[in-house]
Amino acid sequence: MTHNKMPWLLGVLIVGLMVVGPVAYSIVPRETHTVAVVLPQPKDETDWPLFRGDPLQTGVAKTTLPDKLEIRWKIDLKKGIESTAAIVKDTIYVGCYDDHLHAIDLATGNTKWKAKIGATKAPPSVYQGKVFVGTEDASFFCLDAATGNKIWEYEVNGEITGGANFDGDNVIFGAHDSTLYCLAIKDKTLRWKIKIDGPVNGSAVIANKQTFLAGCDSHLHIIDIKDGKEKTKIELSGQAAATAAVLNDKLFVGNMNGVLQSLDLKKEEVLWSFEPKRSQPFYGSAAVTDKYVVVGSRDRSVYALPRDKGEKPVWSFPTDGPVDCSPVIAGNRVYFGAGGGTFYVVNLDTGKEVLSITLGGRITASPAVARGCIVIGNTDGLLYCLGKKD
């Protein structure tokens, strides 16, 4: 392992590559979907503004979910949904392959507005009354969260599949042109950019004024957020395509060699590595608590590992397909979807199935969990809101 001296830190992880041309932006006025039942807005006031719920991308929800999930509503966006939604107050924001970013009422499933920005796989991020999202057409947008009106657009040289994160008045995101960008939120002024030896695929993790990049050189790069300069790097066991999760001074990330690793950011070293018997890539991100690390694999399983010593799983759970979905932990349960189209609820301590719901097409998006509800889409273009009907 190669590394240099560094202070305690926390951070970001990302990787990918494809260049396509920009598309025209347009706003489509409010429209209404027909829904069978209009349901009251849940009273729980927690939000899910980023890909994994918080700036450290831990994948742990603060909301309380009902013991038994029901389908509150579903809507058909006609094209596949791989974008993980954001939920802020009474509004869901989600990208789609129909070339639109959709703003949807959480209680009813009715459309508030939709903006034509291009095919979108990346998760939107909501901050300071604005929505930030990148597209497969190599454009990064800042939109007004209330109206969908474009505030600005910034063009890069590669597809954007990861979500944005924020440092004060700056927004940070990566693209498949192997570059991490830092822009001023006010006017898209380029604060800095840094290029690595490999595309940037995941969502940014930011803490303690530092960020991380993992590229095709199989190293974790430590970046100073103030100026975008690399401070040091730590060797990994493979190229990383997932977003990292950070808790306290530990970072957790899976890689394309089928290994999940925990890094001690104080000691600048790998603490432990976990490789399942039937090794397949980890594309989903881990959910992390003080006790557990929970992650899905393309070997069609979800694993729970002890956070401090993760070489041997506490449990493994078989699914109906590859798991690119990133699990979410809420209370003593784990929530995730799989490639076979089933959404699962599993006991966090035992790994025993609590509930499963067939949602149709492949589930590669991850759950957004807030205000007593779960929102998730599938590749058939169906967007579901799960929770309690009354």
What is the DSSP code string of 275-291?
--SS-----SPPEE-SS
Which residues make Cβ contacts (< 8 Å) with residue 7, sequence separation at least 6?
none
Which residues make Cβ contacts (< 8 Å) with residue 4, sequence separation at least 6?
231, 232, 233, 268
| Strand order across the beta sheet in which 26-28 lies | 26-28, 111-116, 100-105, 91-95, 86-88
pTM of the model: 0.89
Query: What pLDDT, on the 0 to 100 scale, is given for residue 26?
Result: 55
| DSSP type of residue 48 | B
Give tens-digit pLDDT for 292-324.
999 999 999 999 999 999 989 999 999 999 999
Q: Is 102 helix (H, G, I), strand (E, B) or coil?
A: strand
In which residue ranges of the chain is pLDDT below 50?
1-24, 29-43
Give tens-digit pLDDT for 364-389.
999 999 999 999 999 999 999 999 98
Query: What pLDDT, on the 0 to 100 scale, is given for residue 45?
Result: 62
Query: What pLDDT, on the 0 to 100 scale, is given for residue 333?
Result: 98
Query: What pLDDT, on the 0 to 100 scale, is given for residue 216?
Result: 66
Number of neighbours of residue 68 by Cβ within 10 angstroms: 10
Rounded to whole angstroms, the Cα distance separating 189 from 323 reads: 38
Query: Among positive and negative, which fits the CA dihedral 310, 315, 321, 323?
Result: negative
Distance of CA 115 to the CA centre of its chain: 21
**Helices then strands, each counted (H, E), the chain:** 0, 33
Helix, strand and coil percent figures for the chain, each rounded to 5: 0, 40, 60
Query: What pLDDT, on the 0 to 100 scale, is given for residue 220?
Result: 83
Query: What pLDDT, on the 0 to 100 scale, is given for residue 215?
Result: 64
Distance of CA 347 to the CA centre of its chain: 22
Strand 100-105 relative to strand 328-330: parallel, antiparallel, unpaired?
unpaired
Q: Which residues pair with 190 in a beta bridge?
A: 183
Query: What pLDDT, on the 0 to 100 scale, is given for residue 17?
Result: 32
Give tens-digit pLDDT for 241-298.
899 999 998 999 999 999 999 999 888 899 999 999 988 999 999 999 999 999 999 9
Q: Judge contact between 58 and 294, C-beta under 8 A.
A: no
Output the CATH code of domain 40-387. 2.130.10.10
